[in-house]
């Protein structure tokens, strides 16, 4: 069967080449319900639900249409949750980073009005522009991830790395504008905080970039 989201979940449907076959092993408390998920005929994963199914408590035939209908709906919910959970978290944190970056326009404008030194104005400009750009990247990847065959663990690596990178720059860029430090070397006090924020943001970005290449490569193969 083709995979489509339950009406209560929302979101885009799975691609047409994604299919799912449902089966049952055992009965009663030892029952194991499984769904083999495939894309273009290739196995992607198997979802399993263990334990007694409430519909079967008064059903003699586990293959009844009602039972399988509810089981399929439940397994579809589980599948869609696995597919979209990382993307939804990425989009949520992207919205926070976007809002924070937009709010930094206020101190940027004040720096211009009070004729602050050029490097201070430039630091506020970098903070105000770079954070929304990073947030847009997070939104784009959040929209792209569900359309790939990226394994769940790899999707979470991408999401977590981008989130950590974004928050690292959320600390370093406005702090650099406030203190006048560029954070290019580990100094003392606030200069070290700017440097650490930049390093966390840069290293996490590299991790996300490598994971994105892996995800794109896996999608090409499958």
pLDDT at 220: 83
pLDDT at 71: 55
Going by C-beta distance under 8 Å and a sequence separation of 6 or more, which residues neighbour residue 198? 168, 169, 172, 183, 184
> What's the mean pLDDT when you consider all of the chain?
78
Angle between helix axes 152-179 and 65-103 (nearest 10 degrees) is: 10
Residue 152 CB neighbours (<10 A)? 13
Residue 82 has pLDDT above 70, yes or no: no
Pick from 63-67, 70-74, 178-182, 212-216 the range whose average pLDDT is largest.
212-216
139-188 per-position pLDDT tens digit: 999 999 888 877 878 889 999 999 999 999 999 999 999 988 876 777 77
- Kindly list the distances between the CA atom of residue 102 and the CA atoms of 5, 31, 139, in Å, as whole numbers in the listed order: 34, 53, 16
Strands (E), 26-111: 32-39, 42-50
94-110 per-position pLDDT tens digit: 999 999 999 999 999 99
Return the closest-CA partner of residue 56 out of 71, 35, 34, 42: 71
pLDDT at 180: 83
């Amino acid at each position: 069967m083709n995979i489509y989201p339950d009406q209560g979940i929302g979101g885009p449907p799975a691609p047409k080449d994604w299919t799912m076959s449902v089966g049952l092993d055992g009965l009663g408390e030892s029952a194991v319900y499984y769904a083999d998920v495939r894309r273009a005929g290739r196995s992607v994963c198997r979802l399993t639900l263990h334990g007694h199914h409430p519909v079967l408590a008064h059903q003699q035939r586990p293959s009844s249409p009602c039972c399988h209908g509810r089981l399929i709906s439940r397994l579809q919910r589980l599948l869609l949750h696995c597919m979209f959970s990382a993307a939804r978290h990425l989009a949520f944190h992207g919205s926070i980073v976007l809002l924070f970056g937009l709010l930094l326009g206020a101190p940027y404008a004040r720096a211009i009005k009070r004729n602050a030194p050029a490097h201070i104005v430039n630091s506020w400009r970098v903070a105000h522009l770079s954070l929304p750009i990073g947030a847009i990247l997070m939104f784009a990847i959040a929209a792209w991830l569900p359309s790939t065959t990226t394994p769940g663990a790899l999707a979470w690596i991408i999401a977590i790395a981008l989130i950590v990178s974004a928050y690292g720059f959320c600390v370093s860029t406005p702090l650099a504008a406030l203190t006048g430090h560029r954070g290019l070397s580990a100094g003392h006090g606030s200069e070290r905080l700017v440097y650490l924020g930049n390093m966390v943001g840069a290293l996490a970005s590299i991790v996300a970039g490598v994971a994105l290449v892996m995800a794109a490569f896996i999608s090409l193969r499958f």
